[in-house]
Amino acid sequence: MAPYVPRTRAAAALRMKQIALDNQDRTIRRLRAQLATERRGLATTKKELEDTQVALEASHKVIAGLIEIGLSMSKKIERMKVKKQKVRANHVECHQKFQARIHEAEDSMQPQHLLIEALVDEKDILLQTIHGLQEANNAAAPFDGDWEEEPEEEPEEEEIEDIPLGEGEIDDE
């Protein structure tokens, strides 16, 4: 059979309007489907943005914590630097005091050394006098056999070197 053919113009107009309504209905359904797809995409994007926001806030907290740790470490380093400077200053002061004591000891050793030399010279003079008196009296030397004169030795003076400030520094690191 042949396709449906409208018999009247009114029926044809109604049929055209029905076709137009069907087309609009299909367009509306297609647009609703697109809208639903867009909404799902927007919901996914919104969820991703929320997740990103949460991650960003967590990152900010971590960064703030790291900054706080960094500031704390900086303060600790500054305290350690001050302590190191104090230790160095104390070391220099002790070194200077030690050097002063060494020089003082050296200065006091000089007169003692001169006194010892004078006593040795006096001992030699006394021994010569005793020997001279023994020879004059023709007496036996009371010190013969018992007394042996030791050869005079110059004691080696140990020089105490000045310790340069650069050596022996205390290092706290």
Of 78, 94, 82, 84, nearest in space to 172 by CA: 84
Helix or strand or coil: residue 51?
helix
pLDDT single digits (tens) 52-92: 999 999 999 999 999 999 999 999 999 999 999 999 999 99
pLDDT single digits (tens) 96-120: 999 999 998 888 888 888 889 999 9
Q: What is the number of other CB atoms lying within 10 angstroms of the CB of residue 110?
A: 9
How far is 4 from 25, CA to CA, in rounded Å?
Answer: 22
Structural domain boundaries of the chain? Answer: 12-109
The pTM of this model reads 0.41
Query: Tokens 């076709």 belong to which residue?
Result: 19
**Residue 139 φ then ψ, to 5°:** -95, 155
Q: Is the dihedral of CA 118, 153, 132, 142 positive or negative?
A: positive
